[in-house]
Amino acid sequence: MYAIRRTATQRLSALTHSSHFLSTQSRFTTQRSRLASTLAILEQREGGLNSASLGAVTAGAKLGGSIHGFIAGKNVKPIAEEASKVSGLEKIITVENEAYDRGLAENWAPLLVENIKKGGYTHVIVGHSAFGKNLLPRVAALLDVQQISDVMSIEGEDTFVRPIYAGNAILTVQSTDPIKLLTVRQTSFPPAEIADGSATIEEGTDPSAPQPTQWVSENLTKSDRPELATAGKVVSGGRGLKSKEEFDRLMPPLADALGAAIGAMRRCRQWTGKNVAPQLYLCAGISGAIQHLAGMKDSKVIACINKDGDAPIFGVADVGLVGDLFEVVPELTEKLKA
């Protein structure tokens, strides 16, 4: 279980100032920090390590104590060798079994529980990705503990900061569970570096539990554009575009000219609500609702186009242009192409 320590409504200024989070002195002695042990779940697919999942290692470093990585699937030895070079990891635990290759949560949950108990871990961390959000609730149910989702900041071994109400408020919670299960926001914890690490590689325990789910197939839409969650540049459009047809007419050419991924507000195209932290975030026709700002506030440079000079988006933008997007966006696109 976790207990609420404090709730604070976050408004525009709060999104850019960490001072609105709970300010505390360290609650833990060095001795207790040494007792912490973290299992960071590392995602892999098609023989490659998902670098975005290395944010779990960065988050684990905030807790102190040892950090072990966990990888499961088919032919994971080369992936484990790559992960062993990640700074901060002491050990890589691997399970070689094709049943875990696609990350099916129903198959992974008993596997993870078995290895958590065997290792005696106090914390288990995974990225707040589709994989992590699907897996950890099942693990929490099997362990009879409370999962803490979308962690934005770690204040101590038992104290964490996360958004609620679609980012309208920020909550600081304190967990009393013996095992803390966390999904962490990947834009808040950058991937740990693959550098000069020297983690040992150890074989984990495979419970060989019944596999209730089997992978059948997938149909993926392929695009030359970068993936939204990890793109260095993102172009986004909002309700100011008025229709899907206008969105499709104006935004893809602008994105192509910049080599950027495309995003949108939920109300514009029923987007899934991803959090992004690109080097450049360029938006048009977006007023700056609190929910939208919560998903893009970690961008390095924010540029906006809006005809309303008093729109909240200008309060967080590094560069802003007041103008009619139906005139400005095509002109900007042509200049970028040139």
From CA 147, how far away is CA 211, in angstroms rounded? 23
From CA 86, how far away is CA 128, in angstroms rounded? 20
Confirm whether residue 271 is marked as ligand binding.
Answer: yes
Confirm whether residue 285 is marked as ligand binding.
Answer: yes
Structure tokens at 156: 């101590």
Confirm whether residue 65 is marked as ligand binding.
Answer: no
Confirm whether residue 267 is marked as ligand binding.
Answer: no
Closest by CA to 61, choosing from 203, 193, 202, 201, is 193
- Dihedral Cα 131, 135, 136, 141, nearest 10 deg: 160
Q: Is the domain of 199 the same as that of 263?
A: no
In a domain? residue 168: yes
Cα-based distances in Å from 147 to 16, 188, 282, 322: 27, 18, 34, 44
Confidence of residue 249 (pLDDT cuts 50, 70, 90): very high
Q: Is the domain of 266 the same as that of 126?
A: no
Residue where a domain terminates, one of 168, 203, 238:
203
Q: Which residue in this structure is represented by tokens 């920090």?
A: 33
In a domain? residue 212: no
Confirm whether residue 272 is marked as ligand binding.
Answer: yes
What average pLDDT does the structure give for the chain?
Answer: 84
Confirm whether residue 239 is marked as ligand binding.
Answer: yes
Confirm whether residue 289 is marked as ligand binding.
Answer: yes
Q: Is the domain of 303 the same as that of 178?
A: no
Residue-wise pLDDT for 25-67, tens only, equals 334 333 444 478 999 999 987 778 888 899 999 999 999 899 9
Give residue 292's domain range: 228-337
Rg of the chain in Å (alpha carbons): 21
Q: Is the domain of 196 the same as that of 244?
A: no
Q: Which CATH number fits the domain that encloses residue 309? A: 3.40.50.1220
The whole-model pTM stands at: 0.74
Cα-based distances in Å from 130 to 103, 136, 274: 10, 10, 11
In a domain? residue 83: yes
Confirm whether residue 56 is marked as ligand binding.
Answer: no
Mean pLDDT (whole number) for 259-278 = 68
Question: CB under 8 Å to 79, separation ≥6 — which residues?
Answer: 42, 44, 47, 48, 49, 71, 73
Q: How many other CB atoms sit within 10 Å of the CB of residue 315?
A: 14
In a domain? residue 218: no
Confirm whether residue 288 is marked as ligand binding.
Answer: yes
Report the greatest alpha carbon distance in the chain.
62
How many domains, the chain? Answer: 2
Q: Is the domain of 107 the same as that of 240?
A: no
The separation between the first and the last C-alpha atoms of the chain, rounded to the nearest angstrom, is: 58
Q: Is the domain of 278 the same as that of 172?
A: no
From CA 45, how far away is CA 76, in angstroms rounded? 10
Q: Is the domain of 6 the same as that of 145?
A: yes
Q: Is the domain of 135 the same as that of 270?
A: no
Q: Is the domain of 260 the same as that of 120?
A: no
Q: Is the domain of 51 the same as that of 174?
A: yes
DSSP 290-330: HHHHHHHTT-SEEEEEES-TT-GGGGT-SEEEES-HHHHHH
With 90 as the cut, is the pLDDT of residue 179 above it?
yes
Confirm whether residue 306 is marked as ligand binding.
Answer: yes
Reduce the DSSP state of residue 8 to 3 states and report it.
strand
Q: Which CATH number fits the domain that encloses residue 131? A: 3.40.50.620
More confident residue, 297 or 3: 297
Mean pLDDT (whole number) for 181-203 = 90
How do 48-49 and 44-45 pair as beta strands?
antiparallel
Confirm whether residue 146 is marked as ligand binding.
Answer: no
With 70 as the cut, is the pLDDT of residue 1 above it?
no
**CA quadruple 219, 222, 228, 232: dihedral sign:** positive
Residue-wise pLDDT for 146-177, tens only, equals 999 999 999 999 999 998 887 778 899 999 99
Q: Is the domain of 99 the same as that of 195?
A: yes
